[in-house]
């Protein structure tokens, strides 16, 4: 399994380097050329010169050969290819290296599974969930399926968004959201290529969603954002606006807490009114009851701990 994992990482490294080389023109990096080129992008030898490495060595790296690399050399290649900070971090993770940026970017939020389940449950009526790096949902309150269109624990955010039209229609600027979602997912799994769960999700989505396949083949990378805005259109209450806040809650980036905070009082009032009109049966089933029954909460905790 470790051998397969390494092979998949090297394959992705090869595709990523080539895609970034092909998006640059010689003029972009200050090179003078004469005559027309049959193919766009920089040549491998040009990247090697700009990075100060041997052409053969860079060719082997781009071919996905399992060779030794150092942080300093990857830094030089990142500069030659004009990688942005997110792409540079991604390159290091594909190569099996960590950079100071990676080590420092994790938020210092809570990491106790019991506390996470409690936060998700008590964030109701605002949507809140916990997911793993494959974007499988480990815990969620009942506002998540109602307003975000995602199932509860056991569902996958990516699969639902890209294969369920009724889910995708909820999101304003769905195309831009799709693009950023795939780019952030790629960053999340940078050091997980070859894992059966990652392979299964990517293969399924490539087969079922032409949109995902197109975006995945672009090799675009975005690092997780601490917060971002999201607008949702619900069939009964209309447009809702949220600020989405995310925290990576483990050193290995395996678990992430995602909280949706209303951007305006209007959204909060709509949420309150909707669940009040729906009656007691619409209340979050994961909330502990007055008699101290915490079965719903414990099931969320078990899902988180199993990750």
**Phi, psi of 40, rounded to the nearest 5 degrees:** -75, 170
Between CA 95 and CA 130 the distance in angstroms is: 28
Q: What is the pLDDT of residue 33?
A: 65
Mean pLDDT of the chain: 83
Q: What is the pLDDT of residue 283?
A: 53
Over the stretch 197-256, which tens digit does the pLDDT of each residue have?
Answer: 999 999 999 999 999 999 999 999 987 676 789 999 999 999 999 999 887 765 556 788
Over the stretch 246-298, which tens digit does the pLDDT of each residue have?
Answer: 877 655 567 888 999 999 999 999 999 998 887 655 555 444 444 444 443 43
**pTM for the complete prediction?**
0.76
Question: How far, in Å, are 36, 66, 97, 288 from residue 89 at the CA level?
Answer: 34, 19, 9, 41
Say what the alpha-carbon torsion angle 188, 193, 195, 200 is, to the nearest 10 degrees.
90
117 vs 23, higher pLDDT:
23
Q: What is the pLDDT of residue 254?
A: 78
Q: Please, where are the H alpha helices in the chain?
A: 2-22, 44-51, 55-62, 71-80, 85-94, 100-105, 113-122, 143, 157-163, 165-168, 174-188, 196-208, 210-216, 265-278, 295-306
CB 93 within 8 A of CB 190: yes
Q: What is the pLDDT of residue 292?
A: 40
**Phi, psi of 242, rounded to the nearest 5 degrees:** -130, 145
């Amino acid at each position: 399994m470790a051998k397969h994992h390494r092979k998949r990482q090297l394959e992705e490294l090869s595709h990523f380097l080539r895609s970034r080389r092909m998006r640059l023109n010689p003029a972009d990096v200050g090179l003078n050329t004469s005559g027309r080129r049959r193919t766009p992008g920089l040549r491998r030898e040009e990247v090697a010169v700009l990075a100060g490495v041997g052409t053969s060595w860079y060719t082997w790296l781009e071919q996905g050969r399992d060779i030794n690399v150092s942080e300093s050399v990857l830094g030089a290649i990142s500069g030659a290819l004009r990688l942005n900070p997110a792409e540079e971090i991604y390159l290091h993770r594909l190569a099996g290296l960590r950079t100071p940026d990676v080590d420092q970017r994790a938020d210092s939020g809570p990491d106790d599974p019991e506390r996470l389940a409690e936060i998700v449950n008590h964030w109701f009526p605002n949507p809140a969930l916990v997911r793993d790096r494959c974007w499988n949902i480990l815990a969620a309150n009942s506002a998540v399926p109602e307003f975000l269109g995602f199932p509860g624990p056991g569902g996958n955010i990516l699969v639902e968004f890209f294969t369920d039209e009724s889910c995708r229609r909820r999101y304003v600027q769905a195309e831009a959201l799709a693009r950023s979602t795939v780019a952030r997912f790629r960053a999340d799994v940078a050091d997980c290529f070859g894992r059966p769960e990652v392979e299964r999700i990517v293969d399924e989505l490539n087969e079922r969603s032409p949109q995902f396949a197109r975006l995945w083949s672009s090799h675009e990378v975005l690092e997780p954002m601490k917060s971002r805005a999201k607008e949702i259109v619900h069939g009964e209450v209309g447009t809702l606006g949220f600020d989405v806040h995310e925290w990576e809650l483990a050193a290995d980036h395996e678990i992430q807490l995602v909280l949706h905070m209303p951007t305006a009082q209007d959204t909060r009032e709509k949420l309150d009114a909707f669940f009040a009109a729906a009656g007691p049966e619409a209340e979050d089933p994961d909330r502990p009851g007055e008699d101290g029954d915490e079965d719903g909460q414990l099931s969320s905790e078990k899902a988180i701990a199993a990750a």
